[in-house]
């Protein structure tokens, strides 16, 4: 198991970078928000690997959960009225 | 592993910065900042990581006496908890601002809010 | 009380507000004010304890654990003072913003409370991560408080601020965590004990993040937007409290970095100070201007922080002085800005109806400009001395340059306030006035405290200054009463102190006091209360007598600044004097800065706690000529030597009738006094082989020639007199620079004579102008019969001034020509000889155009000038006669006194005859001879003209076509046109153009710089990152 | 395009700075001074099994107080910012699915319970006030989703938030009088390591934090949810 961890870490890191790039350069804002949420979510897994369960829980609940919802609330208000 | 995580953290920060500098859409700027924030959190946690040790929680496997040899540095974790919450506070505030700005001009383009200058 | 209560009360009350019903806003507001008052009281109690007992700082532990394992706070003298400043600013801001807070409800109040609490936290905490948390609280609270504004742009300003803050906090976090990794602690003192050597890069990130909170130039566009759009009540907090806390935070973390980082702080500071001041120059929006000024002041204090290695135990005194002066003044100005309806600087004119508000503005502007008696003055003095002692002259130069620019725009603004028109009414409610009043009181109190701490004389305990300030308290009294008091005060001072001085100083003292008292006689013509006149005038006189009184450089410089400020207010009272008063104050302050630098340099090579003026004589060589040069230049700005003269004509001509003689007859003598002292103590100096005294000789000669030349082409009688003063001062300078006995004697004669006849002429011309309603000479004529007394005074004055027998001017000339024979330099002498007849050319016009010729139709019913204006003129006539007859009364003793310094060539006083080595002069005999000649000719003329017929005036001007410019038909208009053709090239306004180009250049620089701030928050983020990169490169290259 | 190039150039410098930091980083082989102290003494001094919690709530309690305040501020300001926006009008909306409505009724109490569990056990197991608070807020979120037009009682949220905050500060001050200093948890008996009722005031404080954080998150979400759709 433990010899797999570095590979898992590398995979997680790669995922995060790709998701971050999508969030930055992607065309669609909702996807960008979701990608950012994904970065957080993957990060919380990484935190677990790095022996930080407290941080992992916080990141998952706050970083990826609440933040994403906040974004969607605002996006929802803004988009529906966006006639341009 | 810590190196890799830290490198990723730094990379995320740079990606976030780049996004914040080049996206003119307010919401996208804020998204970029959350990515950079996540990057910072990863860097901080990675700094405290020590190979072969466990989380700083005493239980049946880690006794108080052996803690010094067994656990990783708890301080960075405590700091990250604070940083995450503060990050959320700032993000929420920026989102409210973005909403307010949109309400005024019906646009999210930052280059349109330049009445004050000089 | 435990300092933790500062945090607990702030937070607890903020949480408590949430429990209240949203409708109970009054209660919430009361609670808020109560909490802020409590917090202020806690800080104050600590301050009292530290001051009274001199106790050291107290560490406060949390969690029952010692640092570095738990967060600790520290309360010391500095912390107590800063938290008091912060809490009081918060309290008064809350009072000021009462209406808005009540409208927005408890949430807004909670945010304000937390902001103040967090600022205290920044000051108190000794833990670097805790510092970060408090900074984030400030960021968020600022984001909220910005929205209290009713300016709709505040939202975008707040967003720009949040963007940059995100970058800042990310860098800060990375720096902190790597610092922790390197040192194993988050405690600032713990880190400092280890030193930043091992984690320089991480420390750089911490450092740059905290610096960014100071809004360094040019990475500060967002801050300016906040200053411009936020509620002024909050801007005061943002400027005064946030700025102070951030500066203290930087000071704290610099303990980690150590001296290696001081140059970086200095560089950022000085660039910010100069850059922000330059960019402030072209601003027209008041709050944005205040924002630039805030940033500039913060930069200055940052510079001081970076210079702490040379400041020693003066560090806190200097930094504190600048900080408090800035904080109090800036908060006051922001609060004051709420009384002004519009945002243009010129709109502040609406305040002028309220003298108390004008006084408040003056207090704040003086504090910011570092004028006495405010803390910034003492701080500036010590700072400049320390810099000079450490040979950091370039930095010194930049600081003074920036300070001059700042004073320039502040006084320009004050000029708008006093001289512009505004229809707006000032609307101020009690809650808005209280904070301003508190700031004014705090300003004066701080001035007292800093004077007390300075170890030098506390200016607010100096009697002449107190006497002048006392006039502020009796502004309600009628002008005549104040006038009596002023005359009494001046006379009393003379009576009390005249024995203390040597003859030379006594002459100046008599002119400054008795001379002033005589001119004040003319002030009896004014009615009403004449608000503002007496404090200004007495401030100038206080400065003048203190100048004579001063024996050390500090007293001298303080007096110099006082008289400069006082005279500026006087000059500004003139009708069209706004631009002239501005150029006067800018030139004068520039001159004052040169004097300050000279004293600092002198003190640096002969270190002593106080530098005696007399010690100038024994100054060591390489520095001495530079000191001489700077002092001479400084004094010559006051005497308006050619090149530095452009402020004078307008300033003197536009001044009020009784002010013109004060600033011309008296004030100019301050410069001459300085030159006397300088030459007396330093003698000849040469720099790079150039004899500096010889330079002065040339400047004197040129000034005399060109001043007189410019005078002859004037149409405005008072301007003519003003230019003539330039020329006259040139004579005096020339005499002094001859460096021989007679030259000095002649210069002294000029001091006396010029006072007498210039005051007299300004009064008589002023009286005429008052009656005719114009100063243009071609609009006058034939007034001899209507204003005979004025005529006599003018005539006597002209005779005296042009140096023809029999009056005192001749005595002066006589000594003068003798003096010239003593000297070796011939060429400038030719110039001086030339300027003699030129003087006559313009002087006779005063008689010829004003009093002779045809009476103008509209002047038929004119009466003699008011008695109060005529009376001093008659006194002057008597004095002139007296001095002409018995010059020995005064000159003899001075002659003897001068012999101490220049023994050769003294005059020989033998009864009424005075003998030099070139000839003799008996004034009484001359007087008799001239009187006989005059009577003979006059009698003959009467006899010849006995049958002359009086002709009625016949106006032919408008007989045919109507001239486009009526004055062109007047014979006296452009009287010396032929000369102008011949010599006009000499009086081209080269100098004016030069200084105009300089100011244009500064403005253009400021305007170009402004383009940086294009309003886009994203671009500001670029600025910030680029700033980081530049500082990084700077530090790497260091 | 120029903008992007400049951004890349600037970030290249930052990349270099970060790379230097990264390359200069060597993991500690032993705990440093501060961490060692916490590892050795926390159990004995504070009686908390979760050292991170002990640090967060007690040793660096002032940070956490500030952190809670950050959320309080953010919630207050979000409310303030959006206060001027008109509240959403009751418009006809597509009815939310019955599944969601019923699910909500069923799930909300469960989620709330979970949240409470997380923060009450903060001193023993991973998790604590912030995580628990976030979980509580997600219950509120669910209710908002199920019935978007439900107007939340801001007063109730504010009261919970304020009371929790006040108690927090009061407990902190009690530390000044009863124990070694502000926020000292030893105002209550430490109990036995690993038990629910142990670690002095830590569980109490963390619960207050949880309530407060939950209330603040809820308040933010509610403020945003109640704004008018533009």
DSSP string, C177-205: HHHHHHHS--BHHHHHHH-GGGGHHHHHH
Q: Give the ranges where B23-74 is alpha helix by DSSP (H).
A: 26-48, 67-70
**Helix crossing, C717-737 with C808-822: angle to 10°?**
40
Q: Answer whether residue A1 is part of any domain.
A: no
**What gap in Å lies between CA C400 and CA C385, rounded to an integer?**
12
Residues near C114 by beta carbon (within 8 Å), at least 6 away in sequence: C10, C11, C14, C137, C141, D69, D72, D73
Q: Answer whether residue B107 is part of any domain.
A: yes
CB of C684 within 8 Å of any CB in chain B?
Answer: no
DSSP string, C496-561: HHGGGS-HHHHHHHHIIIIIHHHHHHHGGG--S--TTHHHHHHHHHHHHHHHHH--BHHHHHHHHH
CB-based contact B17 D34, cutoff 8 Å: no
In sequence order, what E strands does D121-224 have? none
Residues near C938 by beta carbon (within 8 Å), at least 6 away in sequence: none
**What gap in Å lies between CA B58 and CA B65, rounded to an integer?**
10
**Chains touching chain C at 3 or more Cβ pairs under 8 angstroms?**
B, D
pLDDT at D92: 46
Dihedral through CA C1037, CA D3, CA D7, CA D10, nearest 10?
Answer: 0
Q: Answer whether residue A50 is part of any domain.
A: yes
- Number of domains observed in the structure of chain D: 1
Cα C806 to chain centroid distance, Å, stands at: 42
Chain D residues whose CB is inside 8 A of the C66 CB are none
- Number of domains observed in the structure of chain A: 1
- Number of domains observed in the structure of chain B: 1
Chain B residues whose CB is inside 8 A of the C1010 CB are 117-118
Q: Answer whether residue A19 is part of any domain.
A: no
With b for 16 or more beta-carbon neighbours within 10 A and e for fewer, the C673-704 pattern comes to bbbbbbbbbbeebeeeeebbbbbbbbbbbbbb
**What gap in Å lies between CA C158 and CA C554, rounded to an integer?**
46
Dihedral through CA C604, CA C608, CA C610, CA C616, nearest 10?
Answer: -60
- Asked if C733 and C699 touch (Cβ cutoff 8 Å), the reply is yes
Chain D residues whose CB is inside 8 A of the B79 CB are 63
**What gap in Å lies between CA C155 and CA C153, rounded to an integer?**
5
pLDDT at C972: 75
Strands C72-75 and C690-691: unpaired
**Helix crossing, C503-510 with C888-899: angle to 10°?**
140
What's the average model confidence in pLDDT over C159-165? Answer: 93
Residues near D201 by beta carbon (within 8 Å), at least 6 away in sequence: D171, D175, D185, D186, D187, D188
Q: Which of B73, B86, B93 sits opposite D32 (nearest CB)?
A: B73
D90 falls in which pLDDT band (50, 70, 90)? very low
CB-based contact D32 B96, cutoff 8 Å: no
Q: Answer whether residue B118 is part of any domain.
A: no
In sequence order, what E strands does C627-693 have? 686-687, 690-691
The residue with tokens 């708890």 is B74
Q: Which of C136, C162, C221 sits opposite B97 (nearest CB)?
A: C162
Q: What angle do CA C688, C693, C697 make, to 5 degrees?
A: 125
Q: Is the pLDDT of residue A2 over 80?
A: no
The residue with tokens 């000499």 is C986
Q: Answer whether residue A41 is part of any domain.
A: yes
What's the average model confidence in pLDDT over B31-59? Answer: 89
Residue D194 backbone class (left: φ over 0; alpha: ψ -120 to 50; beta: rest): left
Task: Give D29: exposed, middle or buried? Use CB within 10 Å, 0-12, 13-18, 19+.
Answer: exposed
Q: For residue C124, give how far its alpha carbon lies from the nearest alpha carbon of chain B (Å).
A: 20
Sign of CA dihedral C781, C784, C785, C787: positive
- Phi first, then psi: what are they for C920, rounded to 5°? -135, 165
pLDDT at C555: 93
The residue with tokens 């935070």 is C249
What's the average model confidence in pLDDT over C625-631? Answer: 93
Q: Between these two residues, D96 and C959, which has the higher pLDDT value?
A: D96
**What gap in Å lies between CA A21 and CA C170, rounded to an integer?**
19
Chain B residues whose CB is inside 8 A of the C133 CB are 82, 86
Q: Is the pLDDT of residue C467 over 90?
A: yes
pLDDT at B37: 94
CB of C996 within 8 Å of any CB in chain B?
Answer: no
Q: For D37-87, write each residue's pLDDT tens digit.
A: 888 888 878 888 888 888 888 889 899 999 989 989 998 888 888 776 555
Can you give the residue range of the structural domain that contains D122? 48-89+97-225
Q: Answer whether residue D202 is part of any domain.
A: yes
CB-based contact D34 C143, cutoff 8 Å: no
pLDDT at A19: 94
Task: Give C306: exposed, middle or buried? Use CB within 10 Å, 0-12, 13-18, 19+.
Answer: buried
How many C-beta atoms surround the C-beta of residue C424 within 10 A? 15
Q: For D161-181, write each residue's pLDDT tens digit.
A: 888 889 988 888 888 888 777
Q: Which of B13, B21, B117 sits opposite C1022 (nearest CB)?
A: B21
Which stretch of A36-50, B57-71, D143-157 has the lowest confidence by average pLDDT?
A: D143-157
Strands C913-915 and C908-910: antiparallel
Q: Is the pLDDT of residue A40 over 80?
A: yes
Q: Which of C136, C177, C283 sits opposite B86 (nearest CB)?
A: C136
Q: Answer whether residue D199 is part of any domain.
A: yes
Chain A residues whose CB is inside 8 A of the B43 CB are none
- Phi first, then psi: what are they for D192, rounded to 5°? -95, 135
Which stretch of C448-457, C642-651, C974-983, D128-137 has the lowest confidence by average pLDDT?
A: C974-983
Residues near C967 by beta carbon (within 8 Å), at least 6 away in sequence: C715, C776, C778, C779, C973
Which stretch of C352-366, C611-625, C764-778, D114-128 has the lowest confidence by average pLDDT?
A: D114-128
Strand partners, D81: none
Which stretch of C658-672, C917-931, C952-966 has the lowest confidence by average pLDDT?
A: C952-966
**What gap in Å lies between CA B96 and CA C171, rounded to an integer?**
24
Chain D residues whose CB is inside 8 A of the B82 CB are 56, 60, 63-64, 66-67
Q: Answer whether residue A14 is part of any domain.
A: no
CB-based contact B4 A10, cutoff 8 Å: yes
pLDDT at D149: 61
Can you give the residue range of the structural domain that contains A84? 32-84
What's the average model confidence in pLDDT over B73-96? Answer: 91
**What gap in Å lies between CA C1018 and CA D144, rounded to an integer?**
34
CB-based contact B108 A55, cutoff 8 Å: no
Size of interface A-B (CB pairs under 8 A): 141
CB of B116 within 8 Å of any CB in chain C?
Answer: yes
Strand partners, C552: C612
- Asked if C127 and D61 touch (Cβ cutoff 8 Å), the reply is no
How many CA atoms does the CB half-sphere of D58 hold within 13 Å? 35
CB-based contact A16 B18, cutoff 8 Å: no
pLDDT at D84: 62
Chain B residues whose CB is inside 8 A of the D34 CB are 75
pLDDT at C526: 87
Q: Do chains A and B touch (3 or more CB pairs under 8 A)?
A: yes
C216 sits in which H/E element: none
CB-based contact C184 D62, cutoff 8 Å: no
Residues near D99 by beta carbon (within 8 Å), at least 6 away in sequence: none
Q: Which of B67, B82, B100 sits opposite D39 (nearest CB)?
A: B67
Percent of chain D at pLDDT > 70 equals 90
Q: Answer whether residue B27 is part of any domain.
A: yes
- Phi first, then psi: what are they for B101, rounded to 5°? -65, -40
Q: Which of C2, C118, C136 sits opposite D176 (nearest CB)?
A: C2
Q: Is the pLDDT of residue A84 over 70?
A: no
Residues near D91 by beta carbon (within 8 Å), at least 6 away in sequence: none
DSSP letter for D71, please: H
Q: For residue A24, give how far its alpha carbon lies from the nearest alpha carbon of chain B (Å).
A: 5
> What is the Rg, in whole angstroms, of the alpha carbon atoms belonging to chain A?
15
Tell me the residues of chain B between 68 and 97 that have a Cβ less than 8 Å away from chain A.
Answer: 72, 77, 80-81, 84-85, 87-88, 91-92, 95-96
**Helix crossing, C867-885 with C808-822: angle to 10°?**
50
pLDDT at C37: 96
Q: Do chains D and A touch (3 or more CB pairs under 8 A)?
A: yes
Q: Which of D76, D170, D185 sits opposite C107 (nearest CB)?
A: D76
**What gap in Å lies between CA C174 and CA C422, rounded to an integer?**
53
C400 falls in which pLDDT band (50, 70, 90)? very high
Which stretch of B13-27, C16-30, C223-237, C377-391 has the lowest confidence by average pLDDT?
A: C16-30
Residues near C911 by beta carbon (within 8 Å), at least 6 away in sequence: none
CB-based contact B116 C153, cutoff 8 Å: yes
Q: For C980-1012, write each residue's pLDDT tens digit.
A: 777 777 777 788 888 888 888 998 888 888 888
CB-based contact C1032 D13, cutoff 8 Å: yes
**What gap in Å lies between CA C342 and CA C708, rounded to an integer?**
46
CB-based contact C159 B26, cutoff 8 Å: yes
CB-based contact D40 B68, cutoff 8 Å: yes
Q: For residue D121, give how far its alpha carbon lies from the nearest alpha carbon of chain A (Å).
A: 12
- Asked if C542 and C513 touch (Cβ cutoff 8 Å), the reply is no
Chain B residues whose CB is inside 8 A of the D28 CB are 50, 73
What's the average model confidence in pLDDT over C905-930? Answer: 74
pLDDT at D95: 57
C773 sits in which H/E element: none
Q: For C937-974, write each residue's pLDDT tens digit.
A: 888 888 888 777 665 554 555 455 555 676 766 777 77
- Asked if C172 and C210 touch (Cβ cutoff 8 Å), the reply is yes
3-class DSSP state for residue A52? coil
- Asked if C88 and C82 touch (Cβ cutoff 8 Å), the reply is no
Residue to test with chain B: of A12, A47, A50, A62, most B Cβ within 10 A: A50
Counting every residue, how long is chain C?
Answer: 1038
Q: Answer whether residue D124 is part of any domain.
A: yes
**What gap in Å lies between CA D83 and CA C1025, rounded to an integer?**
34
CB-based contact C130 D62, cutoff 8 Å: yes
- Asked if C58 and C76 touch (Cβ cutoff 8 Å), the reply is yes
Q: Answer whether residue D136 is part of any domain.
A: yes
């Amino acid at each position: 198991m433990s010899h797999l961890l570095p590979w898992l870490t590398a995979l997680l890191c790669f995922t995060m970078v790709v998701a971050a790039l999508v969030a930055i350069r992607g065309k669609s804002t909702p996807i960008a928000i979701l990608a950012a949420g994904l970065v957080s979510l993957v990060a919380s897994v990484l935190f677990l690997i790095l022996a930080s369960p407290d941080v992992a829980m916080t990141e998952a609940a706050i970083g990826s959960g609440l933040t994403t919802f906040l974004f969607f609330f605002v996006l929802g208000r803004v988009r529906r009225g966006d006639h341009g | 592993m810590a190196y890799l995580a830290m490198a990723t953290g730094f990379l995320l920060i740079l990606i976030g910065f780049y996004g914040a500098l080049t996206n003119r859409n307010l919401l996208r700027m804020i998204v970029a900042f959350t990515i950079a924030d996540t990057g910072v959190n990863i860097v901080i946690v990675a700094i405290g990581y020590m190979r072969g040790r466990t989380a700083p929680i005493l239980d049946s496997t880690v006794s108080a006496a052996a803690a010094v040899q067994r656990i990783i540095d708890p301080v960075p974790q405590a700091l990250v908890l604070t940083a995450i919450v503060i990050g959320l506070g700032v993000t929420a505030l920026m989102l409210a601002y973005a909403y307010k700005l949109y309400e005024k001009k019906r646009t999210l383009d930052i280059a349109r809010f330049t009445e004050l200058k000089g | 009380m435990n300092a933790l209560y500062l945090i607990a009360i702030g937070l607890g009350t903020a949480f408590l507000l949430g429990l209240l019903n949203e409708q109970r806003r009054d209660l919430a507001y009361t609670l808020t004010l109560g909490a802020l008052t409590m917090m202020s009281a806690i800080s104050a109690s600590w301050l009292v304890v530290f001051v009274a007992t001199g106790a050291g700082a107290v560490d406060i532990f949390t969690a029952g654990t010692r640092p570095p394992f738990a967060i600790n706070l520290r309360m010391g003298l500095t912390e107590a003072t800063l938290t008091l400043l912060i809490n009081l600013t918060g309290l008064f801001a809350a009072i000021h913003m009462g209406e808005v807070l009540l409208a927005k409800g408890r949430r807004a109040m909670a945010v304000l409370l937390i902001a103040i609490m967090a600022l205290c936290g920044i000051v108190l905490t000794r833990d670097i991560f805790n510092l970060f948390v408090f900074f984030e609280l400030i960021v968020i609270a600022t984001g909220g408080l910005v929205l209290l504004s009713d300016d709709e742009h505040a939202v975008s300003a707040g967003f720009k601020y949040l963007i940059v803050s995100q970058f800042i906090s990310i860098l800060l976090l990375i720096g902190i965590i790597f610092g922790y990794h390197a040192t194993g602690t988050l405690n600032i003192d713990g880190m400092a004990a280890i030193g930043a050597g091992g984690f320089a890069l991480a420390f750089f990130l911490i450092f740059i993040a905290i610096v960014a909170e100071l809004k360094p130039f040019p990475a500060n566009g967002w801050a300016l937007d906040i200053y411009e759009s936020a509620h002024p009540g909050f801007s005061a907090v943002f400027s005064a409290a946030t700025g102070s806390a951030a500066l203290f935070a930087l000071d704290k973390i610099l303990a980690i970095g150590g001296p290696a980082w001081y140059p970086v702080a200095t560089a950022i500071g000085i660039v910010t100070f100069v850059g922000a001041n330059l960019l402030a120059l072209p601003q027209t929006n008041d709050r944005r201007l205040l924002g630039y000024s805030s940033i500039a002041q913060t930069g200055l204090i940052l510079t001081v922080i970076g210079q702490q290695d040379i400041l020693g135990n003066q560090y806190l005194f200097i930094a504190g002085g600048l900080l408090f002066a800035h904080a109090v003044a800036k908060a006051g100005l922001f609060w004051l800005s709420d009384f002004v309806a519009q945002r243009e600087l010129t709109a502040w004119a609406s305040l002028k109806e309220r003298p108390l508000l004008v006084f408040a503005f003056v207090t704040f502007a003086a504090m910011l400009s570092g004028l006495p008696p405010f803390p910034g003055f003492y701080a500036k003095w010590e700072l400049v001395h320390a810099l000079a002692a450490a040979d950091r002259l370039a930095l010194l130069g930049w600081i003074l340059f920036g300070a001059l620019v700042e004073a320039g725009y502040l006084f320009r603004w004050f000029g708008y306030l006093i001289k512009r028109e505004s229809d707006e009414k000032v609307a101020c409610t009690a809650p808005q006035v209280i904070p301003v009043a508190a700031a004014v009181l705090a300003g004066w109190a701080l001035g007292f405290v800093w004077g007390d701490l300075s170890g030098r004389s506390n200016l607010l305990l100096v009697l002449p200054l107190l006497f002048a300030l006392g006039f502020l308290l009796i502004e309600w009294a009628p002008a005549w009463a104040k006038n009596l008091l002023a005359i009494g005060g001046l006379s009393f001072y003379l009576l009390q102190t005249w024995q203390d001085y040597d003859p030379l100083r006594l002459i100046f003292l008599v002119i400054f006091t008795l001379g002033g008292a005589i001119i004040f006689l003319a002030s009896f013509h004014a009615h009403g209360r004449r608000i503002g006149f007496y404090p200004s005038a007495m401030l100038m006189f206080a400065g003048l007598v203190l100048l004579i009184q001063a024996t050390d450089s500090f007293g001298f410089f303080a007096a110099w600044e006082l008289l400069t400020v006082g005279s500026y207010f006087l000059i500004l009272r003139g009708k069209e004097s706004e631009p002239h008063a501005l150029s006067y104050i800018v030139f004068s302050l520039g001159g004052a800065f040169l004097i300050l630098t000279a004293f600092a340099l002198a003190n640096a090579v002969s270190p002593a706690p106080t530098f005696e003026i007399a010690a100038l004589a024994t100054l060591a060589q390489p520095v001495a000529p530079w000191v001489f040069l700077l002092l001479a230049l400084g004094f010559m700005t006051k005497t308006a030597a050619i090149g530095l003269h452009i402020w004078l004509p307008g300033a003197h001509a536009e001044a009020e009738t009784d002010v013109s003689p004060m600033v011309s007859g008296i004030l100019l003598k301050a410069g001459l006094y300085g030159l006397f002292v300088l030459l007396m103590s330093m003698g000849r100096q040469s720099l790079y082989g150039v004899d500096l005294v010889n330079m002065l000789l040339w400047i004197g000669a040129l000034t005399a020639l060109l001043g007189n030349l410019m005078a002859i082409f004037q149409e405005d009688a008072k301007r003519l007199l003003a230019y003539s003063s330039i020329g006259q001062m040139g004579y005096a300078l020339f005499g002094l620079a001859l460096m021989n006995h007679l030259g000095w004697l002649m210069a002294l004669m000029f001091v006396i004579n010029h006072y007498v006849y210039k005051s007299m002429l300004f009064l008589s011309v002023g009286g005429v102008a008052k009656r005719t309603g114009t100063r243009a000479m071609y609009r006058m004529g034939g007034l001899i019969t209507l204003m005979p007394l004025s005529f006599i005074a003018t005539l006597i004055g002209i005779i005296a001034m042009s140096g023809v027998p029999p009056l005192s001017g001749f005595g002066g000339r006589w000594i003068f020509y003798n003096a010239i024979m003593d000297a070796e330099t011939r060429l400038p002498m030719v110039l001086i000889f030339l300027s003699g007849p030129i003087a006559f050319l313009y002087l006779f016009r005063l008689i010829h155009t004003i009093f002779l010729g045809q009476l103008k139709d509209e002047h038929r019913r004119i009466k003699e000038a008011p008695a109060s204006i005529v009376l001093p003129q008659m006194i002057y006539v008597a004095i002139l006669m007296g001095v002409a007859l018995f010059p020995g009364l005064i000159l003899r003793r001075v002659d003897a006194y001068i012999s101490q310094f220049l023994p050769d060539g003294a005059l020989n006083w033998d009864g009424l005859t005075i003998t030099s080595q070139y000839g003799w002069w008996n004034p009484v005999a001359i007087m008799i001879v001239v009187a006989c000649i005059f009577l003979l000719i006059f009698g003959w003329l009467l006899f010849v003209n006995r049958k002359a017929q009086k002709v009625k005036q016949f106006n032919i001007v408008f007989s045919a076509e109507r001239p486009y410019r009526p004055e062109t038909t007047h014979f006296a208009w452009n009287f010396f046109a032929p000369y102008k053709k011949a010599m006009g090239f000499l009086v081209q306004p080269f100098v004016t153009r030069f200084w105009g180009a300089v100011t244009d250049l500064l403005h253009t620089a400021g305007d170009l710089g402004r383009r940086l701030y294009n309003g886009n928050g994203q671009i500001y983020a670029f600025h910030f990152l680029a700033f980081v990169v530049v500082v990084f490169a700077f530090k790497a290259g260091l | 395009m120029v903008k992007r190039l400049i951004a890349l150039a600037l970030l290249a410098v930052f990349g270099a700075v970060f790379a230097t930091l990264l390359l200069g980083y060597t993991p500690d082989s032993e705990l440093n001074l501060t961490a060692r102290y916490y590892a050795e003494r926390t159990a004995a001094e504070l009686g908390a099994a979760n050292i991170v919690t002990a640090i967060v709530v007690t040793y660096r309690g002032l940070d956490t107080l500030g952190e809670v305040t950050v959320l309080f501020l953010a919630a207050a300001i979000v409310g303030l910012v959006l206060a001027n926006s008109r509240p959403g009008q009751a418009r006809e909306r597509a009815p939310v699915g019955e599944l969601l409505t019923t699910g909500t009724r069923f799930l909300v109490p469960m989620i709330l319970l979970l949240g409470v569990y997380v923060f009450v056990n903060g001193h023993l197991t991973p998790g604590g006030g912030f995580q628990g608070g976030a979980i509580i807020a997600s219950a509120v979120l669910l209710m908002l989703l199920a019935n978007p037009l439900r107007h939340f009682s801001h007063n109730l949220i504010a009261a919970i938030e304020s009371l929790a905050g006040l108690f927090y500060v009061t407990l902190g001050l009690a530390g000044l009088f009863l124990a070694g200093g502000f926020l000292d948890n030893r105002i209550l008996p430490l109990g036995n390591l690993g038990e629910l009722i142990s670690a002095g005031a830590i569980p109490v404080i963390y619960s207050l934090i949880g309530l407060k954080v939950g209330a603040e998150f809820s308040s933010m979400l509610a403020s945003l949810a109640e704004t008018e759709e533009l």
